[in-house]
């Protein structure tokens, strides 16, 4: 499976280039990291958790799917651009970083606003919604058209302790019929925005064109 990844990444890169010619709404991005010494130095090995990151507010009980795989490939491409190395074979069990990925695609009327979404590294577990540590809430407005809220969530955990080293969330509101709503294009855009200027300023929400 992992041996096929480079070919998939090439395909994703081609789709990302195609997306440059496709109008894509701005992406709201928030990142958090609280450790003093980064655990994601260039050359650090990582392994992706095979189960989607469960966010009770949006992604509970979500099972792996072809769309989730699109997000996984897009995220791995960004990780490798940061210098991280995918662990393969026996090395997977000793990789110091575990990557957890989640996504959500929800329909809504363009005239209805989403409820606030909280993001934060909390306490020793680094789980979302823990109520401990940093947090930020924001609303996404809408227009008259039917739109989808697309959301990508990524967390880098210390594999040994389970503590979150870095976590972030990227959200975009995309018209349902827009080319940018296609899973491959959406995944590439959200992942690129999420890892822009990695690791980013902790606790700050930015808009990425």
Confidence of residue 144 (pLDDT cuts 50, 70, 90): low
Question: Is residue 2 scored above 80 in pLDDT?
Answer: no
Residue 206, helix vs strand vs coil: strand
Mean pLDDT along residues 166-170:
97
Name the nearest CA neighbour of 193 among 161, 168, 164: 168
At 184, is the pLDDT very low, low, confident or very high (cuts 50, 70, 90)?
confident
Q: Write the CA distances from 116 to 6, 31, 113, 137, integer angstroms.
A: 37, 16, 9, 5
Give the tens place of pLDDT for each residue, 37-94: 788 999 999 999 988 776 444 444 445 578 889 999 999 999 999 999 999 988 899 9
Q: In the predicted model, what is the mean pLDDT of residues 11-34?
A: 66
Strand partners, 150: 105, 172
Residue range 187-198: mean pLDDT, rounded? 96
> For residue 139, how many other CB atoms are within 10 A of its CB?
11
Query: What is residue 6's predicted lDDT score, i.e. its pLDDT?
Result: 52
pTM of the model: 0.72
CA 51 to chain centre: 14
Q: What is the pLDDT of residue 23?
A: 60
Domain architecture of the chain: domains with CATH: 2-199 (3.30.160)
Q: What is the mean pLDDT of residues 124-132?
A: 34
pLDDT digits (tens, 9 = 90+) for 93-118: 999 999 999 999 887 654 444 444 44
Instruction: Give the pLDDT score at 192.
Output: 97
Cα radius of gyration rounded to whole Å, the chain? 16
């Amino acid at each position: 499976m992992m041996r096929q990844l480079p070919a998939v990444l090439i395909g994703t890169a081609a789709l990302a280039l195609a997306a440059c010619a496709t109008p894509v709404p701005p992406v709201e991005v928030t990142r958090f990291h609280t450790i003093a010494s980064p655990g994601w130095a260039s050359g650090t090995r990582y392994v992706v958790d095979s189960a989607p990151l469960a966010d009770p507010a949006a992604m509970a009980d979500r099972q792996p799917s072809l769309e989730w795989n699109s997000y996984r490939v897009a995220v791995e491409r960004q990780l490798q651009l940061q210098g991280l190395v995918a662990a393969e074979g026996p090395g997977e069990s000793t990789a110091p970083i575990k990557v957890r990925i989640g996504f959500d695609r929800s329909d809504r009327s363009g005239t209805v606003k989403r409820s606030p979404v909280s993001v934060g590294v909390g306490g020793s577990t680094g789980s979302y919604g823990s109520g401990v540590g940093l947090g930020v809430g924001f609303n996404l407005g809408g227009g008259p058209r039917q739109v989808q809220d697309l959301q990508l969530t990524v967390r880098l955990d210390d594999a040994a302790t389970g503590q979150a080293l870095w976590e972030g969330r990227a959200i975009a509101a995309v018209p349902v019929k827009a080319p940018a709503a296609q899973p491959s294009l959406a995944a590439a855009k959200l992942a690129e925005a999420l890892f822009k200027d990695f690791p980013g300023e902790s606790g700050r929400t930015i808009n990425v064109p």
